[in-house]
Chains A and B, each alone.
Chain A
Amino acid sequence: DKASRTDIAAPTCGSNLVVNDLEKPRKKELASSHRTIDISSKQRLCLLPIIQSITQPPSDKVEEHDPLSQSTHTDCTEDQGHTLSPPKLPYMERYRAHTSKQSPLLWAEEASSKASAKVPVLCKTPDSHKHSARDRNTASLVCKSWYRVEALTRSELFIGNCYAVSPARATARFTRVRALHLKGRPRFADFNLMPPDWGAHFNPWVLAFAKACPWLEKVYLKRMSVTDDDLATLAESFLGFKELVLVCCDGFGTSGLAIFVSKCRQLKVLDLIESEVSDDETDWILCFPEGESHLESLIFDCVECPINFEALERLVARSPSLKKLKLNRYVSIGQLYRLMVQAPQLTHLGTGSFSPSEIAGQGDQEPDYVTAFAACKSLVCLSGFREIIPDYLPAIYPICANLTSLNFSYANITAEQLKPIISNCHKLQVFWVLDSICDEGLQAVAATCKELRELRVFPVDAREDSDGPVSEVGFQAISEGCRKLQSILYFCQRMTNAAVIAMSINCPDLVVFRLCIMGRHRPDHVTGEPMDDGFGAIVMNCKKLTRLAVSGLLTDKAFDYIGRYGKLVRTLSVAFAGDSDMALKYVLEGCPQLQKLEIRDSPFGDAALCSGLHHYYNMRFLWMSSCRLTHQGCQQIARAMPRLVVEVIRSADEEEMDVCVQTLYMYRSLEGPRNDAPKFVTIL
C-alpha cells in the first residue's frame, strides 16, 4: 500500500493526524468527502505551521473565517515539503455553514497537479486525549483513505469497555499504537454489587499486543484483573516499555511488581492507584535495576505491605527525573524527610503515614521538616497523611501557597487543624477532604480557595445512620466562595433543595455533580420535600454538566427534569430513587449523550427498559441492579439488539435463576458473548 510505504513519522505528540496525498482519490471519494462532518469536539484545533509555508497566498475567505490563525500552538508533527493551498471548493462553504464554534476541523486541499485529496489537519490541543480520540473517530468515518491513515497514525488507543472489542480486532486496525488505555469492570463493582472474578482480564490483551504491537510503551488500566504473569509479559515483550498505570486493579502482588521493575529498564512511570496488591513478601523496591533510573513517577500509596526503605532511598537518590512520589503508610515521617532531602525537585508528593515510626529509642533525630518542605519549591500536589499526627501539620506551611492539589481524604482532622493550612492555599484547585472538618472547615475553604475546581468530601463514617458532620451549610458556603467549581463529590446526611439550587446558580461551570445523601430516601431536611427541585436546578442551570449522581428522596419529577434539561449528560448514577418506569423513560428518551447509566434499587421494570432501544447502541453500558426487571424483559432486549451483550448476573451462591433479575449489565460489543464469563453470569 502506498499508504504504508509513505513515511509518516509516528507522531511525536500523540494525537496528530496529517493525511497527505496518498493516492489518487477517485471521484467517488471526492464526492463522499464533500460530506459535512458534525463534530462534537469542543477543542479548538489549530492549523499546522505548514499552512504558513504555503506558497500560494491563502484566500481571503479562509483568513476571515479562520479562528485559529491567532493560535500559536505549534506542538505538532511537522509535515515537510507539501504545498497546500487553502480550500476553495464549494464544499468548504457548505462546511462552514455547518461549522459552529465547536467543530473547528479545518481542512486544506492540495491543489497540486496530482489529484487533490482532502487533507484533514488535526493538531494536538492542550486538552484531554479523550476529545482527540473522538475527533479521530469522526475523521475515520469520512472515507477509506482517511480511515486507513487515521488507523496508522493513532498512537493512543482508548477502549472504554474491554469487552466491546477484541484484542485481535484492535491490533488489526491500529498497528502503531504506543499507548493503550483499557477499562474493565463497571463502577458499581467497586461497591461489592458484583461477585469477584467477573472478568476484565488483561491477559488476552497483553498477549495480543505482545505479538502485534511490540512498540507499545504505555499501558493504563482501570478496574481490570492483572496477574503477575501479565506483568512479566509486559516487561519482557515490550522492550521500550515506559509507563504503567493501574487504577482500581487487582490480581497481582509484589512478586509480579518485582519481575516487572527488574526487567523494565526504560521505566518512567509506575503508578499504582487504589489497587489491591497482595503481599507476597517480595522486596520489589530492591528489584529496580542499579544505575541511573529514568523514573519520573512512582506511586505506591495503595500497597499495603512494608517496603525496604533503604532501597527506596537509594532509588530516589539515583532518579534525577523523579517528579512524582507517593509513599505508602509504612513510610514514617522521619523517612519521608530523608527522601525529600534527596528529591527537592518533586512536584507531586504522597507523604505516607505522616507520623513517626513507633520504635522509639531508634535515635530518630528531630529533623527540620519545615525546611525540607520549603526546599521543595516545585511541589504543587500533596497527598498521603495516612496516619496523621496533626502536630506535624505545620511542617507543610511553606508550600501551601504553591499547592494546586491537596488530598486530606485520609486525614481525620478538625476544622481548627485545617484552618491554618487552608488559609494559605490560595491557588488550590483540587481539594479532597474528610467530613471531619465539618461545615466550619468547609467555610474556611470557601473563604480562601477561590480557584477551586474540584472538591470531594468523603465520610469518616460511611454508614447510613452515622452522624453527619457536614450539611447544606458547608455546601452552600462552598457554592458562594468557590465560583469556579467544576466538579463536586459530597457525602452528607442532611441537605436542602435551597442549597443545591444555590450551587446551581453560583457555580455555572459545573461539569460533574455528585451528591450522596447517605441515608436512603432522605428528603430536604428543612421542608420535608423530595430533592427533585434541587437536582432539577442543577441540570437546568449547569449547562456544561456531563456527569450526575443523584440521591435522597426523588420522585419521577426529578428524572423528568434530567431528561428535559440534561442534554449533555453522559454519566448518570441513580440509587434508591424514582417512583415508576416513567423516570427511566424520561432519561432514556431525553438524554441523547447518555453513555453510562448505572441504577440500583429503583422501581424500574421491563417497560422502562424497552424505552431505550433506540439508544443502547450509543451507550457504553447500562447497569441495573435490584430493580424490577425480569428475564423475559431482558431477553426481549437481547433479541431486539444483536450487538448488545446482555449479562444477567446473580450473586455467587445462587444456583437457580429467579424470575427476577438481580443485576443486568449490558453493553455494546462487536464480539458477541464473551467466552470468559463465570458461572454466575448468564449471557442472554
Chain B
Amino acid sequence: QFSHNTITKANQTKQIKEQEETEAKAIQIGSKDRSKKRVEASCFVSMEVGRKMANMLGTDHDLNFKETELCLGLPGGIAVVAAGNETESSSSPKTSGKRGFSETVDLKLNLQSKESTMDLNKNLDDNGSKEKSGSAKDPAKPPAKAQVVGWPPVRSYRKNIMANQKNSSEESGNSGAALVKVSMDGAPYLRKVDLKMYKSYQELSDALAKMFSSFTMGNYGPQGMIDFMNESKLMDLLNSSDYVPSYEDKDGDWMLVGDVPWQ
C-alpha cells in the first residue's frame, strides 16, 4: 500500500518531526503511564520499520490504521521489555523498550502461533516483504530498515571501498586467490600460482612449464631473466620423463598429478 521509495524528502522530514514529537511525548511519560498510552504516543514493535510505518499510517496517510494496529505492543500479555514496565496488551513502552533486533525477532517468532497476533505479524511480513525480499523467506532475519540519507555518518568514499571489497570477495570466492607455491628441483627460487586461474591440470602444467622454462632451457642468465620461450620445446620436455609434475597434498603425501580430479 505504500512504499518508502515514493516518499519525498519533505515528507520524510515531516515524518521525522512527527516521530520526534511522539517520541518526545513518550519520553516524558512516566513508566506507569506508558502502559496506558496508545499507539499515537509510543509506537514501535521492531526498530525503524515499525515506527515509520506507524507514523505514516497514523498521521500522514489515511490508511487502515486501526485495522493493522501495527503499533501495539506484543499482545497476549507477553512482557516485551526490560524490568520496570507494566505489561499490558496495548502498551509498547518506548524508552526502555528498544531491544536489539534479534530479541525483537525472537519475540515475533514466538507469537506467530498465536491467533490474536495474526494481524500484527501478517502486516509486518507483508510490509517486510515489500521492503526487502529477504524477510518472507527467512523469518529469522528482520526486514531491513529503509536507510536514512547520510546516516550513519560514514563518508561515501569509505562506503564505496567497503562495498567494492565485499563484491570482489564474493566474486572470487572466499579469500581471493588460491595461491600455492611451486618449486622445481634445482630452480633457484619458488613461484606462486593462483589455482583459480586454471581449469585443468593441463592448463596448470602449461603455465608451470612456461614459468620454469628458463631453467630447463638453460636460459637462466646472469640477471635471472626469465625467457618464456619456445612452446614446442616445452611440450617435449613435459612429455618426456625428465620432469613429472607432482604435488604435496594436505597430509604431506606426494601425489602424482592426475590421480585426483581437478575439481
A: residues with CB less than 8 A from B are 188, 190-193, 248, 274, 276, 302, 355-356, 358, 360-361, 363-366, 386-387, 389-391, 409-410, 412, 458-465, 491, 493-494, 516, 518-523, 525, 527-530, 553, 555, 573, 575-576, 579-580, 600-603, 626, 628, 651, 654, 658, 660, 662
Contact = CB atoms under 8 A, between A and B. Distances in A.
A528 B161 contact: no
Contacts of B199: none
Nearest to B9: A651
Nearest to A464: B145
B159 to A, nearest CB: 6
Contact of B159 (A364, A386, A462, A518): A462
A276 B157 contact: yes
Contacts of A412: 162, 165
B145 A465 contact: yes
Contacts of B176: 355, 387, 389
22 contacts: A190-B155, A356-B179, A358-B177, A358-B194, A360-B197, A386-B161, A387-B168, A387-B176, A461-B162, A462-B154, A464-B48, A518-B152, A519-B47, A523-B95, A527-B82, A528-B82, A529-B96, A576-B151, A603-B20, A626-B12, A662-B9, A662-B10
Contact of B144 (A302, A465, A529): A465
Contacts of A603: 17, 20-21, 24
A274 B160 CA distance: 12
Interface stretch (B67-75, B184-192, B245-253): B184-192
Contacts of B159: 462
Contacts of A651: 9
B16 interface: yes
B196 to A, nearest CB: 9
Contact of B192 (A356, A390, A458, A530): A356
Interface centre among B12, B23, B144, B165 (most CB of A within 10 A): B165
A208 B210 CA distance: 60
A528 B97 contact: yes
B235 to A, nearest CB: 16
Q: Which 6 pairs between the two chains have the least Cβ-Cβ distance?
A: A528-B96, A191-B150, A462-B154, A603-B20, A360-B194, A518-B152
Contacts of A522: 98
B71 to A, nearest CB: 16
Contacts of B152: 459, 462-464, 491, 516, 518
Interface centre among A391, A529, A579 (most CB of B within 10 A): A579
B239 interface: no
A605 to B, nearest CB: 10
Contact of A654 (B10, B81, B142, B145): B10
A465 B142 contact: yes
Give the bracket for the number of chain B residues in contact with chain A: 35 or more
B111 interface: no
A462 B179 CA distance: 31
Contact of B10 (A491, A525, A580, A658): A658
Contacts of B98: 519, 521-523, 525, 528, 553
Interface of B: 9-10, 12-14, 16-17, 20-21, 23-24, 27-28, 47-48, 81-82, 84, 95-98, 100-101, 142, 144-145, 147-159, 161-162, 165, 168, 175-177, 179, 181, 189-194, 197, 207, 210-211, 226, 228
Nearest to B169: A412
B24 A579 contact: yes
A465 B14 CA distance: 22
A515 to B, nearest CB: 11
Contacts, number: 173
Contacts of A575: 151, 153
B248 to A, nearest CB: 16
Q: Say whether chain A's binding surface is mostly helix, strand, loop, or mixed.
A: loop
Nearest to B161: A410
A623 to B, nearest CB: 12
A522 to B, nearest CB: 6
Contacts of B82: 527-528
A191 B153 contact: yes
Contacts of A460: 162
B27 A530 contact: yes
Given A191-B155, A528-B81, A360 B193 contact: yes
A662 B13 contact: yes
Contacts of A461: 162
B155 A274 contact: yes
Contacts of A529: 95-96
A628 B153 contact: no
Nearest to A552: B98
Contacts of B190: 365-366
B52 to A, nearest CB: 11
A23 B177 CA distance: 74
B73 to A, nearest CB: 15
A363 B226 contact: yes
A361 B211 contact: yes
Contacts of B179: 356, 389, 391
B142 A580 contact: no
A464 B148 contact: yes
Nearest to B44: A521
Contacts of B210: 361
A650 to B, nearest CB: 9
A465 B101 contact: yes
Contacts of B27: 530, 555, 579
Contacts of A356: 177, 179, 192, 194
B207 A390 contact: no
Contacts of B21: 603
Given A191-B155, A465-B144, A553 B95 contact: yes
A660 B13 contact: yes
Nearest to A392: B179
A660 B13 CA distance: 9
Contacts of B47: 464-465, 519
A409 B159 CA distance: 11
A603 B176 CA distance: 47
A24 B148 CA distance: 64
